[in-house]
Homo-oligomer: A and B are copies of this chain.
């Protein structure tokens, strides 16, 4: 052994992710650079490459952490609900919590969906697992629908995500003021109503 490490690799990793998180939160994805992350840690840029394959790798790990925080945020929202709250109420809570998280952590949340991995490469399992966990939360609240719950979960998840994207990137604001929570309510309530109606017709 030689040159006692100031920080273990695990510490370096955590410091880099924390620095990157602060930068993205404050300046957006465009403000992120290896030199800026490194200098915030008190290291040279080259040091990052001892811990990450490249900047893409760092972003992927930051995104996994963001999804973990989102998951915790959703769990809290559910915990605040009365114990006897029904599925619809719980789904609405999840949907609104999702939108609030996206708004509060806009840049970090954007990075998750705007970071395209290089052609052909596949999402690392660490990230995929986090996505599954989130979707699982929605599926759990829809299990009473029986067959079709997984489809409904994906529709609602995507729908709420779409509302957040368009509302927060001003792509809807061009058409007048947007009340995103009202859109979320309408989506969840009408979709669930429709699902119930369709079910009655079939049976």
Are the CB atoms of B158 and A183 closer together than 8 Å?
Answer: yes
The docked-state distance in angstroms from the alpha carbon of A117 to that of B169 is 9
The docked-state distance in angstroms from the alpha carbon of A196 to that of B162 is 23
Given contacts A158-B162, A194-B193, contact A182 B135 (CB under 8 A): no
The docked-state distance in angstroms from the alpha carbon of A108 to that of B67 is 27
List of B residues within 8 angstroms of A178 by Cβ: 154
Copies in the complex: 2
Question: Interface residue count for A (Cβ, 8 Å)?
Answer: 51
The docked-state distance in angstroms from the alpha carbon of A162 to that of B113 is 11
**A-side interface mostly:** helix
A91: interface (CB < 8 Å): no
A84: interface (CB < 8 Å): no
A187: interface (CB < 8 Å): yes
List of B residues within 8 angstroms of A169 by Cβ: 113, 116
- Partner pick for A159 among B132, B162, B189, CB 8 A cutoff: B162
14 contacts between A and B (CB under 8 A): A113-B171, A116-B169, A122-B170, A123-B170, A135-B172, A154-B163, A154-B178, A157-B166, A158-B166, A189-B194, A190-B195, A193-B193, A193-B195, A197-B197
